[in-house]
Chain A
Amino acid sequence: EPEVTQTPSHQVTQMGQEVILRCVPISNHLYFYWYRQILGQKVEFLVSFYNNEISEKSEIFDDQFSVERPDGSNFTLKIRSTKLEDSAMYFCARRTQGHNSPLHFGNGTRLTVT
């Protein structure tokens, strides 16, 4: 299946700055997800997005985070005021159907907060 494209591949930002991570899935997919993986740790669920609305979010996904799909194509994750502990790999994933279909991941964006 077609890949999910994430941009940028690496983002370096200063603490307190806003960052926007982008994901370009295929337009007819309904389910989108963001995950975070701190170096050497597990893949953590952040948020799921279905039918252009947040459907589920984790306790990590606080007020500093937001997601949107502004143009029906790009799917973005915004961190308003980055903290050092936000440094991680961020993965976007999509699926075409419900709970019996697999997720398809992008190669991630490495966010480094200095």
Chain B
Amino acid sequence: AQSVTQLDSQVPVFEEAPVELRCNYSSSVSVYLFWYVQYPNQGLQLLLKYLSGSTLVESINGFEAEFNKSQTSFHLRKPSVHISDTAEYFCNSGGYQKVTFGTGTKLQVIP
């Protein structure tokens, strides 16, 4: 079975600074990885996904994540954060019927 670990529960960062949110996975079979974002008072939204092919995937709002098989990681990065990026971010490894989410990482962008 697949599982993910997000080591950082909270990440404070100043506006316009770069950020990296860490996610490590463990799996012995095919890997499907997703990042979701939850803005205050909203449901989770898909940010980006890795299914196969290029190991670098990008979202429309400047985030990117790189699938690294040797390090079993799928870290989320953005070179310059904005106040509006303040949210909680969840890494997820898909699943069949029971799709679970970890504790998430709260990104706090400081003006």
The reply to whether A42 and B32 form a contact with Cβ atoms under 8 Å apart is no
Q: Among the listed A31, A91, A102, which residue makes an inter-chain contact with B43, where contact means beta carbons less than 8 Å apart?
A: A91
Is A81 located at the chain interface by the 8 A CB criterion?
no
The interface size bin for chain B is 20 to 34
Q: Mark B85-99, 1 if CB is under 8 A from A, else 0.
A: 000001000111111
Query: Which residues of B are found within 8 Å of A102, using beta-carbon distances?
Result: 34, 36, 46, 49
Can you name the residue of chain A whose Cβ is closest to the Cβ of B100?
A45
Given contacts A100-B51, A102-B49, contact A55 B44 (CB under 8 A): no
Is A75 located at the chain interface by the 8 A CB criterion?
no
The reply to whether B32 and A100 form a contact with Cβ atoms under 8 Å apart is yes
Given contacts A48-B98, A56-B96, A93-B44, list 15 more A-B pairs with CB under 8 A. Answer: A4-B43, A31-B97, A42-B101, A43-B38, A43-B101, A43-B104, A48-B99, A98-B96, A99-B32, A99-B94, A100-B30, A102-B36, A103-B36, A105-B44, A107-B41
